[in-house]
Amino acid sequence: MYSQIPTIFSEKISPEAREKIAQCKDFVERYCIPADKIYLEQISPDREKRWKEVPEIIGKLKIEARKRGLWNMFLSNKYSEGAGYTNLEYGCMAEHLGRSIVAPSVTNNNAPDTGNMEILARYGTKSQKEKWLNPLLDGAIRSAFLMTEKGTSSSNALNISCSAKLNSRGKYVINGVKWFASGSGDPNCAVWLVMCKTDSSKSTPYANHTVLLIDSKRALASGKAKLVRPLTVFGYDEAPHGHCEIVFEDYEVTDADNSEIILHKLGGGFEVIQSRLGPGRIHHCMRTIGVAEQALLTVAHRANNRLIFGTRMSERESFKTAYSQYKIDVEKCRILVLNAAHTIDVKGPKGAMREIAMAKIEVPRKVLQILDWCIQMFGAEGVSQDTPLARAYAETRTLRIADGPDEAHLGQLARNNAKDFPKIEKYFEELEQSRLDVAKL
């Protein structure tokens, strides 16, 4: 019933990973999806309380997940802390995690922590790892990456203007307004990774930024950093995690040595954010495919139980045909993403730039169409809290914007493709010559 992994990708998956994928599927189906409704009900409707505590079902499922070894699967075999899976293998797990709201959290594979853990594993000093990576891997704390800024075009990260300047005491003082910092509203969020402009004099503009590791609890306690408000996504505040607006007004980082707070190196911000992106985009895409598959299951269930003018909806030609077209669409997306995942495994994120961009552009766009159809098949119920569809639509919609809008990625591909144009001219010159040669045969 649930789609299989396409043959050629399946062949690349180790027996251990195959087993883990199956476990993951089982856990998601028997624990996580059933828990989603409980989770939503346990979020307090009170506007203050909903940000103070994480629903207790999360803690309970974390225990179940760890019991089964379903923990931190995202961290690839490139890292010593990694679970040892390839991006392709984890991709197949991520698809199942995407089918449930709670699954990524309860298995500690939730964004943005996953990306944050990856760069901490890659660039963190021993001390930074102890302080932040270990508790993150343990699920004890959460984290946020403060990138996007109010009033700035985020498709060009050079625009990032939140400043961190050394004061006379040799401490960094931060000023700026970040927003859409996912997860920053979480009561357990303990660390912010903040992309700051630490310089403006470098000959290459890509050397002016640095990612700083900020103890968020202390920063907020200082009164110089403020969680202004959660931004909503189509009306959802996504408590208790949220996407917050955070203002720094002369916040001086005094609680740690500068070497503790600089991730990688001074001026290394671009390197850090670039290495963060590739696999994370693939994880998002794979989860999104899980969203689509689960939505299609939900709508098939609806159609099986709904009469339209005396005929079961699932027996109507128009329904069956549309359903099948969408199943094709999901499969096309899956192949596209798994292809990108494998390319990362073989060639690294840089070598897979084109494949990642294609997946990032295509998958959310197509899944949104599918979700829209599913909503339509549910009628009014589809836009309401009684199905997971509208919420899924809203979250998926952000994927066309987050990490750079579609347009930015397509623009990047366009610039790369344009590099081929002179070669194409050369080819057509050769073609003219070949025409002469062939005419003489």
Q: Taking CB under 8 A as the criterion, which residues in 4-33 touch a copy of itself?
A: 6-9, 12, 29-31, 33
Reading the block at residue 125, the tokens are 């000093």
Residues 202-231 that bind a copy of itself (CB under 8 A): 231
Nearer to a copy of itself, 262 or 340 (CB): 340
C-alpha span between 344 and 157 (Å, rounded): 23
Stretch that binds a copy of itself, among 121-129, 206-214, 248-256, 429-437 (CB under 8 A): 429-437
Reading the block at residue 47, the tokens are 């506007």
Cβ-based neighbours of 429, under 8 Å, separated by 6 or more: none
Stretch that binds a copy of itself, among 59-67, 188-196, 215-223, 274-282 (CB under 8 A): 59-67
Residue 309 per-residue DSSP state: T
Query: Which one of 112, 279, 382, 388 is in contact with a copy of itself (CB under 8 A)?
Result: 382
State the minimum distance, in angstroms, from the CB of residue 195 to a copy of itself: 15
Query: Which one of 129, 224, 236, 260 is in contact with a copy of itself (CB under 8 A)?
Result: 236
Stretch that binds a copy of itself, among 106-114, 247-255, 271-279, 386-394 (CB under 8 A): 386-394
**φ, ψ of residue 176 in degrees (nearest 5):** 155, 170
Cβ-based neighbours of 81, under 8 Å, separated by 6 or more: 72, 75, 117, 121, 133, 137
Residues 285-324 that bind a copy of itself (CB under 8 A): 297, 300-301, 303-304, 306-309, 314-318, 320-321, 323-324
Residue with tokens 């709201």: 101
Nearer to a copy of itself, 150 or 265 (CB): 150
Residues 123-182 that bind a copy of itself (CB under 8 A): 148, 153-156, 179-180
The binding track of 63-102 with respect to a copy of itself, each residue x by CB under 8 A or -, is -x--------------------------------------
C-alpha span between 364 and 403 (Å, rounded): 13
Reading the block at residue 198, the tokens are 């630490």
Strands of 275-415, DSSP E: 307-308, 311-312
Instruction: For residue 242, give Cα distances in angstroms to 40, 187, 322, 421.
Output: 14, 10, 35, 45
State the minimum distance, in angstroms, from the CB of residue 41 to a copy of itself: 10
C-alpha span between 62 and 249 (Å, rounded): 37
By CB under 8 A, is residue 34 in contact with a copy of itself?
yes
Residues 336-375 that bind a copy of itself (CB under 8 A): 336, 338-339, 342-343, 346-347, 355, 358, 361-362, 375
Cβ-based neighbours of 52, under 8 Å, separated by 6 or more: 44, 187, 240
Binding-site residue total for a copy of itself (CB under 8 A)?
Answer: 114
What is the per-residue DSSP string for 166-181?
A: E-TTS-EEEEEEEEEE
Query: Which one of 80, 126, 201, 418 is in contact with a copy of itself (CB under 8 A)?
Result: 418
State the minimum distance, in angstroms, from the CB of residue 421 to a copy of itself: 5
Residue with tokens 């974390």: 62
